[in-house]
Structure 1
Amino acid sequence: MIFQKLGELLAVFGPLSFLTVGGGQSIVSDIHRQSVAVHAWMDDGEFLDLFALSRITPGPGSLLVTLVGWHVAGFTGALLASAAIFLPCSVLVYGLARLWARFQHTPWIRAIEAGLVPVAAGMILAASATLLRAAEGGPWAWSVAAASTLALMFTRINAFLVLGLGGGVFWLALG
């Protein structure tokens, strides 16, 4: 049973390693889908708890993977999930960095870099939508998220102030 779970962790996080274009945040949507819907390792509430814990602790954004691995298969699961998310892309990036440096001023490299920007942004937007759906905050959560996004995009307001105001509005709405 434990070997099956470890195999599942490896099969899920190994391929996801190559999709971390925008960092760990870009794959949160698929981590949620795999953890909750596909493998039923946890429910939405447990996923949100692990996500929140991964955000308040220091370390990479992909720490969520380690916590999912821990939840599924304990210490061994955490180690395997971490290795599966970090090793494949690290080896690939190491190899590509040498090639990238050699051809960095060519037009096709600049085109690839420009093309990856909207891909990363889209993946991060999908992750945000997944978290809002999983939190079941309803129209208030979506409204606060939209207002916060617009405020950060079009003003010079401090992100921490927006976070505090958004939390306060949401708390008042629920209370």
Structure 2
Amino acid sequence: MNWGDWIDLVKHLLAYSVASIGGPLGLVSELHRYLVTQQQWLTDSQFNASVVLAQAAPGPNVLFIALLGWNIGMNAGGYLYAPGIALLSLIGILLPSCSMMFFATKWLSRNQELRAVKAFKQGMSPTVIAMLIASGWLLATANTATLSDWRLWATTGVTAILIIDGRVNMFWLLAIGGTLGALGLVA
């Protein structure tokens, strides 16, 4: 990879940051298209492992961007590049969205009664939900061997119902899912 590639990566992350309504997880499908399909800087398994590992770790869910950057750096030149590209990726994804949120929340709090503000908030909900569903679908179907595994889909369905119901703490669901995976009951 050369300097042009790094600049291209940062430009894309800056643009994605502006579009990351609902958080960075809504960008998973677009990031996959760019990093895996188009640029081929990461493999499917590296991409999915980065997202899943960051979501399993405590802390903000934007950490998967740093892991993606780390893996790109490792593929490009090993430990010499990985820390810098991880940091560059985080700055690229955080700077625009954090700046916009700072100014937008001030403006929205002063103008929350405007009809346009209310309409904007109502219109964004389905968009954010659709982006998160697309991200979930991409992660669920990345491994073609899992597409025919009824146990995996049953676990996914039951988990979704329990999350929507809201009476079961999500940490229990994570623990159960991890245990099922560790025992080899779901792939």
Q: Does TM, normalized by the shorter one, top 0.5?
A: yes
- Contact in 2 for aligned 1:36/1:42 (Cα 8 Å): yes
**Is 1:159 paired with 2:170?**
yes
Q: Return closer, same or farther for 1:163/1:151 CA change in 2, 3 Å cut-off.
A: same
Q: Return closer, same or farther for 1:63/1:161 CA change in 2, 3 Å cut-off.
A: closer
Shift of 1:61: 1.2
C-alpha RMSD over aligned residues: 2.1
Q: How many residues align?
A: 174
Higher relative contact order (CA closer than 8 Å, sequence separation 6+) = 1
TM-score, reference length from structure 2: 0.81
- Contact in 2 for aligned 1:48/1:135 (Cα 8 Å): no
TM-score, reference length from structure 1: 0.86
SS in 2 for 1:153: helix
SS in 2 for 1:172: coil
Separation of aligned partners in 2, 1:123 and 1:99:
25
Q: Return closer, same or farther for 1:142/1:30 CA change in 2, 3 Å cut-off.
A: farther
Q: Return closer, same or farther for 1:75/1:169 CA change in 2, 3 Å cut-off.
A: closer
- Contact in 2 for aligned 1:9/1:77 (Cα 8 Å): no
Aligned to 1:61: 61
- From 84, 88, 94, the equivalent of 1:86 is 94
- Contact in 1 for aligned 2:46/2:71 (Cα 8 Å): no
Shift of 1:173: 5.0
Aligned to 1:107: 115
Amino acid at match of 2:131: M
Query: Which structure 2 residue ranges, 5 or more long, are not aligned?
Result: 74-81
- Contact in 2 for aligned 1:65/1:81 (Cα 8 Å): yes
**Is 1:148 paired with 2:156?**
no
Aligned to 2:79: none
Q: Identical aligned pairs, as a percentage?
A: 26
